[in-house]
Chains A and B, each alone.
Chain A
Amino acid sequence: MTNVALDTAPARQPTFLLISNPSVLIFLACLAIFTLGVTVLAEGFGIGVISTSFVKTLGKTLCLCLVALAMDLVWGYCGILSLGHMAFFGIGGYAIGMWLMYARTEIIVVQSLSAAPLPPTTQEISDGIAAQIFGVVGASEFPPIWAVAHSLPLQLAAVVLVPGLLALVFGWLAFRSRVTGVYLSILTQAMTLALSLYLFQNDSGLRGNNGLSGLQNLPGLGDVPQSTVSIWFFWASALALGLGYLLCVWVVSGKFGSVIRAIRDDESRVRFLGYPVEAYKLFIFTITAVIAGIAGALYYPQAGIINPAEIAPIASIYLAVWVAIGGRGRLYGAVIGAAFVSLLSTYFTGGQAPDINLGFYTIQWVNWWTVLLGLSFVVVTLFAPKGLGGLFDFIASKRSPSRHGADLGPDAGALREKEAET
């Protein structure tokens, strides 16, 4: 265990990021070709082979890839199995959703009031919007958390700040009391559960289990067809994924990346070497929460609706499933896993997949896909800890000894994958 990842990173030489990481160029090129291809084939701009709803699905998938990237950074590289990142994702969605809903309702209310004989006062407009938005939960006044919902810049700031601050506070509390490993996972799961239960209440100020809806309509752009809007969001998602990927590569390469991998491999040893482990973990936890929030803010306008069920702990568990199947500890693995599993899930649970008739029983994929997914997750954990990304190693003939669950070293507890060179 002397050769922990510390000495494998090539950060000592002052080289350019892209040159030292050629796989990044490949990834970005793939993403660019994919984006261009979808644009050409989409209804909004190109020849119309891909329907608008499928463009939205692809755009959403890119957002899920982005949050999977964040999850890979925090889990695959830093060893913190967070079951709270889909909560940060949801918070980002809520933050942008509040503005979308407010601004759109404002337009409708102003329009309906303009026909009245007297020009409306600001209070009347605000009351009208509140009545429209909160009618379903029996309230008619704006809760305090909607204070800045009228302002796009402030809500955009909230997309970044709210998940970031929550992660900062939670992470600070958790890391300073040395909560690690599974305990941290359970604690993050509890945080997620608390948040979703809170949002389920009608007096949470965010419309209880109705959630926020109508988010696909951009305020002031009512004339622009959804086919065009969907392409805009697709581009934005692709851009965000590309930038997010670059950011993550930048974080994990160099000395910083070596330290966080070392923390994953043996936290106390890193601490004894004099590194402020808590600060590193807190930084990673917070920055990934921010990435998740941004991904959510891009995802939900494409989904059109957000409700507390999206934040439930199971969503974060699925996120872990994607990253594990894709292959943790390598960034492209997370992207592949998220894209592969979420698209397959959409296919199988959307009712398009043909049923399999066994004669005595008909397997309906809508019902059995989740069972298959759960079991495949067990199989991947047991037999292919590198996930789909491991296939690339296989092709490149990079073999690591088959462990079949056996320990690599004397210490129990940490994830001790031998790192594939990035």
Chain B
Amino acid sequence: MSVLRQFCAALVSVLLIAFAAPLAAQNADAPIQRLLQEHGEIIAKSSRRTIGPAIDALADSGLLEAQAVLERWQAKEMWFDKEAGLFVYAEEIDRHTIRAFDFADGTELGEFEDKGFKQLKPNSGIRGLIGAALVRFQLNDPNPSARAAALIAIERDADESHLAALRAVKETEDNPRLRERIDRLERILTIRFAEDDAERIAAIESFNGDLGVDVRAVLNPLVVTSLDAAKTLPNDPDVVGQVEYGTERLSAEDAYELLVTKELAVPRITRGDQKAALIANIDVDAVAGIEVASLNTVTARDMAYAALAREGAVEPAATAAEVAHAFDVYVFFERYRNASPAVAIAAQAVLTGIENKVALNQTIDLGLDALSLASIYFLAAIGLAITFGVMGVINMAHGEFIMMGAYTGYVVQLFIPDYTLSIMVAIPLAFAVTFGAGVAMERLVIRWLYHRPLETLLATFGISIALQQLAKNIFGTQARPLTAPGWLDGSLVFNDIVSISYIRIAIFVLALLFLALFLIVMNRTRLGLEVRAVTQNPRMAASMGINPDRINMLTFGFGSGIAGIAGVAIGLYAKVTSEMGSDYIVQSFMTVVVGGVGNIWGTLLGATMVGTMQKGIEWLNPSNTLAAQTYMILFIILFIQFRPKGIIALKGRAAEA
């Protein structure tokens, strides 16, 4: 190698002397040019594996021009003058002509045909290495945003050299926010790369209680353990603790496998290998004197294999007794693998603290999730709380009103492309559409069926089936998008664990608005008074001059209209399909029934309970939302056993209405 290098160096110098003519103006002896020449060969070779020394030499040179060279190189603006054997930077004027500049002082060397030059095109791997080296220059950049970018580059792909660079600028950084970030990054890199254990432990302990993902990412590898086995538990500092075999951490099979790999036990033979060995040793119609036809039990096969082993035809395998003995004799334990014991123990202590805090924050996050699910259920159920809770009408097509509202939103978005405006239009329009549908349904069907709840249920089922298929016929079976306005994108982030998307906050606020609307309409308006009067005693209300037919119609329309608005909100959060209504109808009825029919606060409590329950069960079994729904429904069925009238049961006369 070195012979070749010398030869090349000689060649380069020969070239230098021979063809210096065209670039006479360039200073071939400038320190930066000499440095480049020194590494000219590997720079020209441009291989990610060998380029390292060249970049390091440039970065460590302390030359002012080094940063410019690295930047030009990274930007593919460095060219090699084949005749002069010098590196220049250049800009392309057209396809065949370049304008070259000297690295040393930036003087223009003139325009040249590009035939005599070779453009250096570093691949992305090399550009990454150059970038990492540039970071050190950038950390000293006068522009704060360039320094911030450098920090991001380090966060993404740190290496040992960055630690020194960060320490060098730690004291001089005058921007307090950047200084904070540099300090944090410096401590993280200390944990990763510092040689001195005391230094690392100090850095680890400085992160006590920090919730950042980066901290856990750097601490977790330190506490990785590997399994080991010995006759007695060794008293080494790196031993974490004994592990029982046959547990989730270490299955009995893996434990035995560990003994075998450590050559502490004879390997067992799998049933498959045993079978293969027996087949390989079939002699006419017997294996080791045992008839093949009788080898249809495990014990017979074990006997045949043992007989083969005695004959020496196969390797002996561990018997059950030997396996049991091995398990008796050896203990299994874990050792820290990636760090010295002191560091690992410190990391473990900090991690435990962090994990406790994480768990607390996850609980808060879960609570927020549950709250937003509860507000969705509440939204879906509040219309039902009016039609079913107040009027006592079972409307199984309520889910289809939700769907109708969502499709109204979708159609509005087809005509009004501005999402904010289209939502503003969609909400009143959805109310109008479903109010109309509700009034029509009340007039045509439900009016005839008051006081026959089972038949109301059946008739509205019919309507629900028809409406669902109708939606399918019009809009097709695929899910339609209902896009939220841009200002509802993203989420409110409290820390790395607790966050809630704005759309969920919007739904929560909407649920609160609906609750307020319901309370105001029912308790503070003439309509609400008349509704309550008609619900309690229609004849008495009629004799007081209230028209019960009109009130029933309006109330049903109002409940249906609210379902339409809920549909827009739910559509923003989930996809719009013809079946979305039936997804919510059972839960909605459950919410109303669990809460207590006829009481809005009960519905609120019911929604909270159902939402919290579902999220809680999902948390216990995160892989399976179907199971969560199943168990939740089972829970509700049982709950109704014990409180058949719901959480808040109406008392007195209202209960009989």
Contact = CB atoms under 8 A, between A and B. Distances in A.
Interface stretch (A131-139, A177-185, A271-279): A177-185
A177 B279 contact: no
A371 B473 contact: yes
Contacts of A117: 279, 282, 292
Nearest to B291: A119
Contacts of A412: 451-452
Residue picked from B279, B458, B473, most chain A C-beta under 10 Å: B458
Contacts of A121: 296-298, 301
A390 to B, nearest CB: 15
Interface string A381-422: 110010000000000000000001101000011010000000
A228 interface: no
Interface string B283-306: 000000000111111100100000
Given A187-B640, A197-B626, A367-B472, A321 B454 contact: no
Contacts of B454: 79, 81, 181-182, 185, 415
A405 B452 contact: yes
B624 A194 contact: no
A173 interface: yes
Nearest to B465: A374
Contact of A374 (B297, B466, B633, B638): B466
Given A181-B453, A182-B457, A381-B458, A197 B586 contact: no
Interface in A94-127: 117-124
B633 A382 contact: no
Interface in B640-657: 640-642, 644
A371 B400 CA distance: 13
Contacts of B467: 374
Contacts of A385: 455
Contact of B630 (A198, A371, A405): A198
Contacts of A50: none
Contact of B461 (A123, A317, A404): A317
A123 B634 CA distance: 36
B403 interface: no
Contacts of A174: 641
B627 interface: yes
Given A117-B282, A370-B466, A407 B451 contact: yes
B474 to A, nearest CB: 10
Contact of B465 (A81, A179, A194, A373): A373
B626 A367 contact: no
Contact of B633 (A81, A191, A200, A415): A191
A77 interface: no
Nearest to B293: A119
A326 interface: no
B536 interface: no
B458 A413 contact: no
Contacts of A344: none
A198 B627 contact: yes
Contact of A378 (B445, B468, B586, B593): B445
Nearest to A323: B458
B298 A200 contact: no
Interface in A160-195: 170, 173-174, 176-179, 181-183, 185-187, 189-191, 193-195
B462 interface: yes
Residue picked from A176, A370, A378, most chain B C-beta under 10 Å: A378
B582 interface: yes
Interface string B422-455: 0000000000000000000000010111111111
Contacts of A317: 461, 465
Interface residues of B, number: 58
Nearest to B396: A317
Residue picked from A174, A320, A372, A377, most chain B C-beta under 10 Å: A377
A368 interface: yes
B459 interface: yes
Contact of A320 (B452, B458, B468, B638): B458
Tell me whether chain B's interface is mostly helix, strand or loop, or mixed.
helix
B469 interface: yes
Interface in B590-635: 590, 593, 624, 626-627, 629-630, 633-634
A140 interface: no
B462 A374 contact: yes
Contact of B462 (A170, A176, A381): A381
Nearest to A404: B448
A218 to B, nearest CB: 27
Contacts of A179: 640, 644
A314 interface: yes
Contacts of A183: 593, 640, 644
Contacts of A378: 445, 459, 462-463, 466
A20 interface: no
A120 B466 CA distance: 56
Given A117-B279, A182-B457, A201-B626, A377 B465 contact: yes
A190 B641 CA distance: 14
A375 interface: yes
A118 B630 contact: no
B306 to A, nearest CB: 16
A187 B275 CA distance: 55
A313 interface: yes
Given A197-B629, A198-B626, A375-B462, A190 B298 contact: no
Nearest to B459: A381
Contacts of A381: 449, 455, 458-459, 462
Contacts of A70: none
A178 B644 contact: yes
Contacts of B516: none
Contacts of B644: 177-179, 183
A415 B633 CA distance: 28
A79 B454 CA distance: 9
B602 to A, nearest CB: 15
A198 B631 CA distance: 9
A117 B445 CA distance: 73
B576 interface: no
B542 to A, nearest CB: 16
A324 B457 CA distance: 12
A314 B447 CA distance: 25
B10 interface: no
Contacts of B279: 117-118
B609 to A, nearest CB: 15
A407 B448 CA distance: 10
B484 interface: no
A190 B275 CA distance: 51
A197 B451 contact: no
Contact of B629 (A124, A185, A194, A371): A194
Residue picked from A179, A194, A367, A376, most chain B C-beta under 10 Å: A194
Contacts of B266: none
B589 interface: yes
B636 interface: yes
Contacts of B462: 321, 373-378, 381
Interface string A71-82: 000000001010
Contacts of A190: 586, 590, 633, 636-637
B473 A173 contact: no
B465 A382 contact: no
B448 A405 contact: yes
A185 B457 contact: yes
Nearest to A369: B469
A313 B636 CA distance: 17
Given A117-B292, A200-B626, A370-B465, A173 B637 contact: yes
7 contacts: A81-B458, A118-B275, A178-B644, A194-B629, A200-B626, A201-B624, A407-B451
9 A-B pairs closest in CB distance: A374-B466, A405-B448, A377-B462, A374-B465, A370-B469, A412-B451, A194-B633, A119-B296, A378-B462
Given A178-B644, A186-B593, 16 more contacts: A81-B454, A118-B279, A119-B295, A123-B298, A183-B644, A197-B630, A197-B633, A317-B465, A367-B473, A370-B465, A370-B468, A371-B470, A374-B461, A378-B459, A381-B459, A415-B454
